[in-house]
Structure 1
Amino acid sequence: MRLDKYLKVSRLIKRRTVANEACDNGRISVNGRVVKASYDVKVGDRLEIALGNRTLAVEVLQVAETVKKDDACAMYKEV
């Protein structure tokens, strides 16, 4: 699954366009590397998201095309 879509489905970022812009501006890194929105997310990847003055680090536990709002937090684990 594409990184921008994963961020939206997991509800780490509200909209896919915002996730795409964050990737283009170099605010998201995977396993220590800045990546584009087209990066293929895999289970076990470590994402670091810099939004504002806060950095959020999460580990991918599950990749799914669609999930319910209540189940979205099960897709990742905060590190």
Structure 2
Amino acid sequence: MRLDKFLKVSRLIKRRTVAKDVSDQGRIWINGREAKASSTVKPGDELVIRFGQKSVTVRVERIAETTRKEEANQMYTILKEETHSE
């Protein structure tokens, strides 16, 4: 599944266009490599997402084309959350 779609379906980022913009700005890494919106995400991948002063590291648990709001958090596991002071 494309990275931008995964971020939207899993509700890590609310809109696919925002997910595309964030990934194209170089603020998302998959398994230590910078990712673009079209990058492929699969179960077991580790994503690092930078939201301003905060970084979130998640592991992809499963892929689903659609999901309900209550089930969206089952698509990933949060491994680490960090705040950055600049």
**TM-score normalised by the chain length of structure 2:** 0.91
List gaps (5 residues or longer) in structure 1.
Answer: none
- The share of aligned pairs that are identical, in percent, is 56
**Alpha-carbon separation, structure 1, partners of 2:30 and 2:41:** 9
- Match of 2:43, as an amino acid? V
Counterpart in the other structure of 2:22:
22
Larger radius of gyration: 2
CA-based RMSD of the aligned residues comes to 0.4
Counterpart in the other structure of 2:33:
33
Shift of 1:22: 0.5
**TM-score normalised by the chain length of structure 1:** 0.99
List gaps (5 residues or longer) in structure 2.
Answer: 80-86
**Alpha-carbon separation, structure 1, partners of 2:35 and 2:27:** 9
Counterpart in the other structure of 1:7:
7
**Alpha-carbon separation, structure 2, partners of 1:49 and 1:71:** 21
